[in-house]
């Protein structure tokens, strides 16, 4: 037993670094003795069965499970099955051996790990002699997946087509042949994956997905475009909802880089697309929104100033602060737009009073033109309004629209 | 000297797949039939779209695309089939092999034997464009000619012959720089060798094709555009698309590696100029600056498109016909319809002084020992030597003095913030830009001096109850 195991290991080493993982079978019985070309002369029993199939399970990020099936000849009684690997980051503690053809009777008796070697030996008992289909599974490093998206918006920016690609990265010197891959949802993919190779596969395509284009003015979140002129940065997003009503919702959309294009609106066959930008798309669960950042608007100008800051003493050291924030909006586009105008209450207090380590009590005052916040998207710290900005006129002049927000900070000291 | 190489497409039918890595590249090299460059100026980014015809076999085909010695981003390379007479084609997957870092293989399924048109698109870096402007004012600075130019530079490592050129105005968001992506995958420019020169010659011969299947370019400029029979400058068609503007140069052009081309974008023939002087320390620093204000609209013979950011070179036409330099200044993006400004800095002919002419205090309040009560002599209270001053008002009489040594009246605008609980007392008809920033304006005659007088009353100590400026008319 000892000498056999030793000999098998010797053969494994002799096969060398080109092989990254191999299975060697050292049988106690004197039959089935294929010889390994070039192997040492004292090797008596060895078999190197090929993989019948490989499954790569990529559903848990950071933990890639390889399951490989091989058919090995077993002798009646105890068999030593040696599994060794080189140049591959296999987690030794995760390696499992299962017999698929006779799981009731073919069983692992023990597992031994030789010192300082990337190998292990299963002692497997079999009630009969003959071939057995076994599955060996392990967690491997260097094999992972990533997602990419291509979003192509219609010229009117009301809908888009979304392509989702999964990229399988094999950064190991191991070739997996025709591997059956599962990314965690959707269809299983059967593709060959070679050593140190990346393969990009179209995983899903969604057509005519409704989108909303948003323009957001929010000093606390996005800051100024031109602080000296008090002009706010206005980021733009395409917002789509990952639900069935919007042609999605089959599964969560995984995080990945999204490249966004738009059709140029020319006639079929003559038109092309233009690149709008790219964004890291965040994970979007079912029914959640996916926001794709498009860059900062240059044709929408929002100038924000504090028009009024009146302190009104109430009782003892307590005061109320009556604040009016003024927004002057100019739309230099030739289409009207809707702007999400947001104000952070904590940011506003810090701006006009400085920071204070206490919760903020506030109410909407009566004087502002902005009176009805979006109830779903407003919180105790952030109010959000939707404001329409008309297109510039035929004379190319942008109409300046002024909105005011009256906030009363109460019981400050 | 860098070696200019183009991307190479090789079609390999399924049976030949085993030949990868051999001398297959030059055996089935389909020529580039048309190429379109969409160049962005906000990032080092160009979208290249090219069309080629490949021969495919029914069944599975592998198409190899390689781009050695260029700055192409491998993650951006895509293939489409805009139309084939024989049938349909599908990309099964894309393979990025380990042993050829600047190549990929498309696994394509075809349901026919024959020729297929393919459109390949990818991002490259190294091709840029930028805008510059030349303005020449009349000698009274009331109007100017204002011409815009674009300069296209190619340092990508690749030649693009007979390319349709589009330039995008606007800011795109990139999460990774294209040049980094290109270099991460082993691209980069190499020194020319003998083989490289031969390859260049081969590439140029292959790529120079007379016909193109790309979307038709805008109509070419009128031939013989000049009175002398010379062709005129190429027209640049300007179109809006989403948040961007696309400038398309009519016709096709050679965009050769290492070269730059400057084209006229527009011609503003009689652009009204408004001159104004501003003191706004928040925007222009602590100085009175001279500004030219111009509108990007049709009334100003402009307004065909937004003005990309760039550099403006401004001159004044002398009565003798010569020019004198006014300023070379950077310009920001200007939407259609927006007024924009050229900051010309200080004008030595306009002197601006900020003077405090008198300061005094009043409305004192005193505290006596630990008492809560405050005492005011103004209200008739008696105060003692040991009382402490806890509240008062500071008064500063100030003058903004402007001396205009120019031969014409000037408009002056002032806007500056004042901290504290302040009353701004004046006859200047000010408004408030925000809660602490008075804003007022005046005109100063030619050769005249003007003093803009006002008083700032600042409530201090217990007198301060606000942190805002109130306006009050002088009595």
Choose the closest CB to A270 out of B171, B215, B240.
B215
pLDDT at A409 over 60: yes
- Determine the pLDDT at residue A82: 87
pLDDT at A407 over 90: yes
The better pLDDT of the pair B40, A268 is held by B40
- Determine the pLDDT at residue A1: 32
Alpha-helical regions (H) of B143-225:
178-184, 194-207
Minimal Cα distance from B246: which residue of A?
A274
Mean pLDDT of A369-388: 95
Q: How far is A377 from chain B (nearest CA, A)?
A: 26
- Determine the pLDDT at residue B70: 83
Question: How many A-B residue pairs are in contact by the CB < 8 A criterion?
Answer: 154
- Determine the pLDDT at residue B98: 79
Residue pair A181/A189 in contact by the 8 Å Cβ criterion: yes
Q: What is the number of alpha carbons within 13 Å of residue B354 lying toward its C-beta?
A: 10
Q: How far is B90 from chain A (nearest CA, A)?
A: 11
- Tokens 């140069």 -> residue: B249
Please tell me what DSSP assigns to residue A265.
-
Q: Which residues of B touch A196 (CB under 8 A)?
A: 98
> Mean pLDDT, chain B, as a whole number?
84
Choose the closest CB to A195 out of B45, B95, B98.
B98
Q: How far is B145 from chain A (nearest CA, A)?
A: 20
Q: CB A260: neighbour CB atoms within 10 A?
A: 26
The better pLDDT of the pair A28, B314 is held by B314
- Determine the pLDDT at residue A9: 35
Q: What is the number of alpha carbons within 13 Å of residue B366 lying toward its C-beta?
A: 16
pLDDT at B463 over 90: yes
Mean pLDDT of A365-388: 94
- Determine the pLDDT at residue B43: 87
A307 to B45: CB separation less than 8 angstroms, yes or no: no
Residue pair A14/A35 in contact by the 8 Å Cβ criterion: no
- Tokens 């798309």 -> residue: A281
Cα–Cα distances in angstroms (integers) from residue B424 to residues A60, B442, B445, B457, in the given order: 66, 17, 26, 7
Return d(Cα A34, Cα A128) in angstroms, integer.
Answer: 20
Mean pLDDT of B119-134: 93
Best of A276, A282, A312, A394 to disrupt the B interface (most B CBs within 10 Å) is: A276
- Tokens 């349909």 -> residue: B88
> Mean pLDDT, chain A, as a whole number?
85
Minimal Cα distance from B49: which residue of A?
A272
B216 to A270: CB separation less than 8 angstroms, yes or no: yes
Q: Which two tokens stand for residue B283?
A: 């925007």
Which stretch of A246-260, A270-284, B44-58, B192-206 has the lowest confidence by average pLDDT? Answer: B192-206
Cα–Cα distances in angstroms (integers) from residue A44 to residues A21, A23, A36, A74, A117, in the given order: 21, 16, 10, 15, 21
Residue pair A140/A91 in contact by the 8 Å Cβ criterion: yes
**Dihedral sign of CA atoms A170, A176, A177, A180 in order:** negative
Return d(Cα A398, Cα B196) in angstroms, integer.
Answer: 55
Mean pLDDT of B5-32: 47
- Determine the pLDDT at residue B204: 47
pLDDT in tens, A169-224: 998 888 888 888 887 777 788 888 888 899 999 989 999 999 999 999 999 999 99
β-bridge mates for residue B284, sequence order:
none
The better pLDDT of the pair B9, A387 is held by A387
- Determine the pLDDT at residue B1: 32
pLDDT at A20 over 70: no
Residues 6+ apart with CB under 8 A from B150: B129, B130, B131, B167, B236, B247, B262, B263, B265, B308
Return d(Cα B256, Cα A15) in angstroms, integer.
Answer: 52
Residue A82's nearest CA partner among A68, A69, A72 is A72
- Tokens 């130019």 -> residue: B149
Mean pLDDT of B27-43: 80
A199 to B246: CB separation less than 8 angstroms, yes or no: no
What ipTM does this complex have? 0.77
Which stretch of A222-236, B16-30, B75-89, B444-458 has the lowest confidence by average pLDDT? Answer: B16-30
Which stretch of A247-256, A298-307, B104-113, B189-198 has the lowest confidence by average pLDDT? Answer: B189-198
Which stretch of A20-29, B73-82, B243-252, B284-293 has the lowest confidence by average pLDDT? Answer: A20-29
A264 to B246: CB separation less than 8 angstroms, yes or no: yes
pLDDT at B14 over 60: no
- Determine the pLDDT at residue B200: 45
Q: CB A199: neighbour CB atoms within 10 A?
A: 24
Q: Which residues of B touch A278 (CB under 8 A)?
A: 172-176
pLDDT in tens, A45-65: 345 578 888 899 888 888 899
Return d(Cα A309, Cα A323) in angstroms, integer.
Answer: 5
Which stretch of A132-141, A382-391, B194-203, B241-250 has the lowest confidence by average pLDDT? Answer: B194-203
Choose the closest CB to B171 out of A153, A266, A295.
A295
A332 to B242: CB separation less than 8 angstroms, yes or no: no
Give chain B's length: 475
Which stretch of A56-65, A360-369, B272-281, B337-346 has the lowest confidence by average pLDDT? Answer: A56-65
Which stretch of A353-367, B21-35, B57-71, B271-285 has the lowest confidence by average pLDDT? Answer: B21-35
3-state SS class at B197 = helix
- Determine the pLDDT at residue A112: 87
Strand order in the sheet with A273-281: A273-281, A256-263, A143-153, A159-170, A197-210, B89-96, B103-110, B59-66, B8-13
Q: What is the number of alpha carbons within 13 Å of residue A266 lying toward its C-beta?
A: 14
Residue A311 burial class via C-beta count within 10 angstroms: exposed 0-12, middle 13-18, buried 19 and up: buried
- Determine the pLDDT at residue B273: 97
pLDDT at B122 over 50: yes
- pTM of the predicted model as reported, rounded to 2 decimal places: 0.80
Residues 6+ apart with CB under 8 A from A146: A166, A167, A169, A256
A307 to B434: CB separation less than 8 angstroms, yes or no: yes
pLDDT at A303 over 50: yes
The better pLDDT of the pair A13, B174 is held by B174
Mean pLDDT of B33-41: 92
Return d(Cα A310, Cα B466) in angstroms, integer.
Answer: 7
β-bridge mates for residue B104, sequence order:
B65
- Tokens 């007379």 -> residue: B210
Residue B11 pLDDT level (bands cut at 50, 70, 90): low
Choose the closest CB to A307 out of B96, B173, B435.
B435
The better pLDDT of the pair A36, B415 is held by B415
Residue B284's nearest CA partner among B332, B227, B373, B346 is B346
* Residue A327 backbone dihedrals phi, psi, to 5 degrees: -120, 120
- Determine the pLDDT at residue A118: 87
Best of B41, B51, B79, B173 to disrupt the A interface (most A CBs within 10 Å) is: B173
β-bridge mates for residue A38, sequence order:
none
Return d(Cα B265, Cα B287) in angstroms, integer.
Answer: 35
- Determine the pLDDT at residue B12: 56
Mean pLDDT of B337-362: 95
Best of A157, A274, A303, A334 to disrupt the B interface (most B CBs within 10 Å) is: A274
pLDDT in tens, B207-253: 444 444 454 444 444 433 334 445 667 889 988 888 888 999 998 98
Question: Which one of A90-99, B69-78, B192-201, B400-409 scores highest in mean pLDDT?
Answer: B400-409
3-state SS class at A298 = coil
- Determine the pLDDT at residue A217: 98
Query: Where in chain A are the domains?
Result: 2-140, 142-210+241-293, 300-412
Mean pLDDT of B362-377: 93
Mean pLDDT of A286-310: 94
Return d(Cα A370, Cα A341) in angstroms, integer.
Answer: 10
The better pLDDT of the pair B273, A177 is held by B273
Please tell me what DSSP assigns to residue A253.
B
Residue A135 pLDDT level (bands cut at 50, 70, 90): very high
Return d(Cα B330, Cα B327) in angstroms, integer.
Answer: 10
pLDDT at A354 over 70: yes
């Amino acid at each position: 037993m000892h000498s056999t195991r030793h000999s098998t290991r010797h053969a494994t080493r002799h096969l060398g670094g080109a092989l990254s993982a191999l299975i060697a079978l050292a049988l106690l019985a004197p039959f089935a003795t294929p010889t390994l070309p070039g192997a040492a002369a004292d090797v008596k029993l060895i078999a190197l069965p090929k993989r019948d199939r490989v499954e790569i399970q990529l559903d848990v990020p950071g933990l890639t499970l390889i399951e490989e099936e091989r058919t090995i000849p077993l002798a009646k009684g105890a068999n030593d099955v040696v599994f060794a690997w080189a140049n591959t980051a296999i987690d030794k503690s995760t390696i499992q051996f299962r017999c698929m053809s006779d799981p009731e009777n073919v069983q692992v008796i023990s597992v031994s790990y030789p010192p300082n070697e990337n190998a292990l030996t299963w002692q497997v008992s079999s009630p009969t002699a003959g071939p057995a289909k076994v599955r060996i599974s392990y967690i491997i490093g260097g094999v992972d997946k990533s997602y990419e998206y291509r979003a192509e918006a219609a010229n009117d920016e009301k809908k888009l087509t979304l392509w989702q690609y999964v990229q399988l990265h094999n950064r190991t010197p191991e070739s997996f042949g025709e591997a059956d891959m599962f990314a965690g949802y959707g269809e299983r993919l059967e593709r060959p994956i070679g050593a140190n190779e990346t393969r990009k596969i179209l995983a899903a395509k969604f057509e005519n997905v409704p989108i909303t284009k948003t323009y957001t003015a929010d000093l606390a979140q996005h800051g100024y475009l031109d602080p000296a002129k008090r002009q706010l940065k206005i980021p733009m997003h395409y917002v789509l909802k990952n639900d069935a009503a919007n042609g999605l919702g089959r599964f969560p959309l995984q995080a990945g880089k999204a490249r966004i294009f738009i059709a140029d609106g020319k006639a079929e066959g003559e038109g092309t697309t233009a690149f709008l930008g790219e964004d890291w798309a965040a994970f979007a669960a079912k029914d959640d929104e996916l926001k794709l950042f498009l860059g900062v608007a240059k044709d929408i100008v929002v100038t924000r100033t504090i028009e009024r800051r009146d302190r009104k003493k109430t009782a003892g050291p307590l005061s109320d602060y009556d604040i009016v924030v003024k927004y002057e909006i100019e739309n230099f586009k030739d289409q009207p737009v809707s702007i999400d105008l947001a104000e952070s209450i904590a940011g506003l207090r810090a701006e006009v009073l400085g920071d204070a380590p206490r919760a903020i009590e506030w109410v909407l005052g009566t004087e502002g033109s902005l009176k009805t916040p979006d109830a779903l998207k407003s919180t105790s710290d952030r109010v959000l309004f939707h404001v329409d900005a008309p297109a510039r006129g035929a004379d190319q002049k942008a109409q300046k629209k002024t909105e005011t927000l009256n906030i009363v900070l109460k019981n400050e000291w | 000297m860098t070696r200019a190489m183009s991307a190479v497409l090789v079609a390999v039918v399924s049976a030949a797949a085993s030949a990868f890595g051999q001398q297959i590249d030059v055996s089935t090299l389909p020529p580039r039939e048309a190429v379109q460059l969409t160049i962005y100026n906000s990032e080092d980014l160009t979208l290249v779209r090219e069309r080629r015809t490949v021969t495919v076999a029914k069944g599975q085909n592998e198409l190899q695309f390689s781009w050695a010695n260029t700055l192409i981003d491998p993650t951006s390379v895509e293939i489409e089939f805009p139309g084939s007479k024989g049938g349909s084609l599908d990309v099964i997957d894309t393979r990025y092999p380990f042993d050829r870092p600047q190549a990929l293989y498309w696994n394509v399924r075809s349901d026919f034997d024959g020729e297929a048109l393919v459109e390949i698109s990818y991002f490259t870096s190294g091709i840029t464009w930028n805008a510059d402007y030349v303005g020449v004012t009349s000698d009274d600075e009331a109007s100017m000619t204002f011409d815009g130019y674009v300069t296209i530079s190619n340092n990508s490592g690749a030649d693009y012959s007979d390319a349709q050129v589009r330039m995008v105005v606007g800011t795109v968001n990139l999460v990774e720089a294209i040049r980094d992506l290109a270099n991460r995958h082993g691209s980069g420019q190499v020194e020319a060798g003998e083989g490289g020169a031969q390859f260049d010659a081969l590439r140029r011969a292959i790529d120079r094709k007379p016909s193109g299947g790309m979307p038709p370019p805008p109509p070419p400029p009128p031939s013989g555009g000049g009175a002398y029979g010379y062709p005129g400058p190429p027209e640049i068609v300007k179109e809006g698309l989403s948040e961007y503007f696309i400038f398309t140069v009519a016709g096709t052009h050679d965009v050769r590696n290492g070269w730059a081309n400057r084209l006229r974008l527009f011609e503003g023939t009689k652009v009204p100029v408004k001159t104004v002087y501003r003191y706004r320390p928040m925007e222009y620093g602590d100085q009175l600056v001279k500004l030219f204000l111009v509108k990007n609209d049709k009334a100003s013979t402009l307004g065909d498109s937004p003005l990309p950011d760039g550099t403006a070179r401004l001159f004044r036409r002398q009565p003798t016909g010569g020019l004198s330099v006014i300023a070379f200044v950077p310009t920001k993006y200007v939407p259609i319809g927006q007024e924009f400004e050229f900051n010309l800095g200080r004008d030595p002919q306009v002197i601006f002084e900020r003077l405090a002419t008198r300061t005094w205090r009043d409305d004192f309040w005193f505290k006596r020992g630990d008492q809560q009560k405050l005492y005011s002599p103004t209200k008739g209270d008696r105060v003692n030597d040991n009382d402490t001053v806890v509240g008062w008002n500071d008064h500063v009489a100030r003058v903004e003095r402007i001396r205009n040594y120019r031969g014409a009246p000037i408009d002056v605008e002032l806007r500056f913030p004042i901290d504290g609980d302040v009353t701004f007392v004046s006859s200047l008809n000010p408004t408030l830009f925000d809660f602490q920033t008075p804003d007022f304006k005046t005109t100063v005659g030619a050769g005249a001096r003007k003093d803009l007088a006002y008083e700032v009353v600042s409530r201090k100590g217990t007198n301060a109850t606000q942190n805002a400026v109130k306006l009050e008319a002088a009595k």
